[in-house]
Amino acid sequence: MFYSESSMFVSERRFILKTCGTTLLHNALPLMLELAKQKCGFHTVEDIFYSRKNFMRPELQHNMHRSFEEEVIILEKLFQDGAAYCLGRMNGDCWYLYTTNNPDSSKPGQAEPDQTLEISFYMHLNLVSFCFPQISGIADLEPGTLIDDFLFEPCGYSMNGLLPDGAYMNIHVTPEKDFSYASFETNVSKKSYANLVKRVLNVFKPGRFVMTLFANMTSEVYPGDSTFEDKISDFQRQDWQASKFSNYYLTFCNYAKVKAKPS
C-alpha cells in the first residue's frame, strides 16, 4: 500500500509501517491493533519494533515525536514488557529502538527466519533521476523487483518494491536545498548484504550513512557481522555496536566517506 510519504506492507501476521516527514505514526497503532483483533482474530502482539535515527530538526516534529522519551511513554501505554535502547553516539548519529523483550514469543530454532536491513544516508541529489528507476539504478538493486514508485509534491520520492519470494524493498527520499536525506530498507534473505549495500551506495552516493540489521537466530544472515565491513567502498566505519535480545540480534554501524589525502 502507498501513502506518499508513508509506506505500509501487510503480510499474514505482520504490519510494517514506515514513515518520513512529520507523520503522526503512533496515532495509527490503536486502530491497527483493533483491526488485527476484529478482522484476523489476533489478540496478542508477539513482537513490536519501533526504531528510528535521531532527528536532525526535532523541533519541527509534533509534540509526541519531539523526543524518543515522549514516544516511549506512548508505546508503554499500548504494549507490555517493553524496553527502550539507544545505539550510537549520544552527541552524533544514533539509533533508537523500542521493542518487547518477550522470551516466550517463539521457541528457539522454531521461529520463521526474519531479518531487516536499513540504511539511512545524507547526500547531494539530482531528484529528477529518481523519476526513472531504470536509469537511476534503483530497478537493478534486486533484479525481478516489482516497483511502485511516486514523486510527490512539494518534493520527495517514495518507492515500494515486492520481490518474487514475497520480500519487500522500500526507499524514501526527502530532498532539501543544501542536502538530501534518504533511506533504504529490505527484508530480502541473504547470507551477507555486503554486495547489496555496495549497490545501494553506488545509486545514492551519500556523504555518510548509518546502517542497522535485525536478524533472528534462524535467519541465514545471523548475526550479520559479514555485512559490516571495516571499509565499504569509499566509506570507513566510525562506530559499531550490537545488542542481543531474546529473539533478535541488532547491529548498528556508522560510516563516513574517506577524505582524499592531499598529494
User: 40 Cβ partners below 8 Å, 6+ apart?
Assistant: none
Q: How far apart are CA 183 and CA 163, in angstroms?
A: 18
7, 106, 120, 158: which one is catalytic? 158
4, 5, 229, 246: which one is catalytic? 5
Which of 168, 233, 154 shows the shortest CA–CA distance to 201? 233
180 in active site: no
172, 180, 183, 219: which one is catalytic? 172
20, 106, 142, 219: which one is catalytic? 20
158 in active site: yes
How many CB atoms are closer than 10 A to CB 23?
18
252 contacts 240 by C-beta, under 8 angstroms:
yes
120 in active site: no
94 in active site: no
Please give the radius of gyration of the chain, using alpha carbons only, rounded to the nearest integer. Answer: 18
Q: How far apart are CA 227 and CA 223, in angstroms?
A: 10
4, 6, 129, 136: which one is catalytic? 6
Catalytically active residues, by annotation: 5-6, 20, 158, 172
